[in-house]
Amino acid sequence: MKVSIVGATGYTGEELLRILAGHPQAEIIHITSESRTGAAIAGIYPHLNSFYQHTLDSLQDLDKIAAASDAVFIGLPHGHAMAAGKILAEAGVKVIDLGADYRFRDSKVYEQWYKVPHVHADAGAVYGLTELYREQVKAAAIVGNPGCYTTASILALAPLVKRGLIELNSVIIDAKSGVSGAGRGLSLNSHFTEMFENLKAYNVGGHRHTPEIEQALTDFAGQPLTISFTPHLIPMARGILSTCYASLKAGVTPEAVDEAFQALYGGEYFVRLLGRGAYPATKQTRGSNFCDLGWHIDERTGRVIVLSAIDNLVKGAAGQAVQNFNVMFGLDERTGLLQAPLYP
Provide the annotated active-site residues. Answer: 148
Measuring CA to CA, which residue among 228, 236, 232 is closest to residue 202?
232
DSSP classification of residue 169: G
Within 71-110, the residues that bind a second copy by CB under 8 A are none
Tell the smallest beta-carbon distance from residue 227 to a second copy (Å). 7
* Binding status of residue 343 toward a second copy by CB under 8 A: yes
Q: Nearest distance from residue 214's CB to a second copy, in Å?
A: 10
CA angle 67, 70, 72 (to 5 degrees): 90
Binding to a second copy, residues 142-171 (CB under 8 A): 169
Q: Residue 325's beta-bridge partner residues?
A: none
One of 35, 38, 196, 267 touching a second copy (CB under 8 A): 196
Backbone angles phi, psi at 222, to 5 degrees: 80, 5
Residues 235-264 that bind a second copy (CB under 8 A): 235-239, 241, 243, 245
C-beta closer to a second copy: residue 204 or 263: 204
Is residue 230 involved in binding a second copy (CB under 8 A)?
yes
Interface with a second copy (CB under 8 A), residue from 60, 201, 262, 266: 201
**179 scored as a contact of a second copy (CB under 8 A):** yes
- C-beta closer to a second copy: residue 117 or 279: 279
In the complex, what is the shortest distance from the CB of residue 259 to a second copy, in angstroms, rounded to a whole number?
20
Query: Residue 144 or residue 287: which is nearer to a second copy going by CB?
Result: 287
**Residues 274 to 303 in contact with a second copy, rule: CB under 8 A:** 274, 279-288, 290, 292, 296-301, 303
> Dihedral of CA 102/108/114/118: which sign?
positive
Name the one range near a second copy by CB under 8 A: 18-26, 29-37, 54-62, 215-223.
18-26
Q: Which of these ranges, 54-62, 87-95, 148-156, 232-240, lies near a second copy under the rule CB under 8 A? A: 232-240
Classify strands 126-127 and 142-144 as parallel, antiparallel or unpaired.
Answer: parallel
The SS3 assignment for 308 reads strand
CA 343 centroid distance within chain: 21
8 Å CB contact between 2 and 301: no
Give strand pairing partners of 5. Answer: 31, 73
Instruction: Name the residue among 201, 159, 176, 306 with its Cα closest to residue 246.
Output: 306
Task: Give the residue among 327, 321, 272, 326 at the shortest CA–CA distance from 103.
Answer: 321
Ramachandran category for residue 275: left, alpha or beta (phi over 0 → left; psi -120 to 50 → alpha): left
Measured in whole angstroms, the distance separating CA 277 from the mean position of its chain's CA atoms is 26
Q: Which of residues 35-74 bind a second copy (CB under 8 A)?
A: 45-51
The correct pick among 193, 250, 251, 330 for binding a second copy (CB under 8 A) is 193
Q: Where are the beta strands (DSSP E) in 196-239?
A: 200-201, 228-234
318 binds a second copy (CB under 8 A): no
The Cα 232–Cα 68 span in angstroms is 41
State yes or no: residue 115 binds a second copy (CB under 8 A): no
CB of 237 to a second copy, least distance (A): 4
Nearer to a second copy, 193 or 330 (CB): 193
Beta carbon of residue 88, minimum distance to a second copy (angstroms, whole number): 26
Using CB under 8 A as the binding rule, whether residue 180 contacts a second copy is answered as yes
Bridge-partner residues for 314, per DSSP?
none
Q: Tell me the closest approach of the beta carbon of residue 147 to a second copy, in angstroms.
A: 18
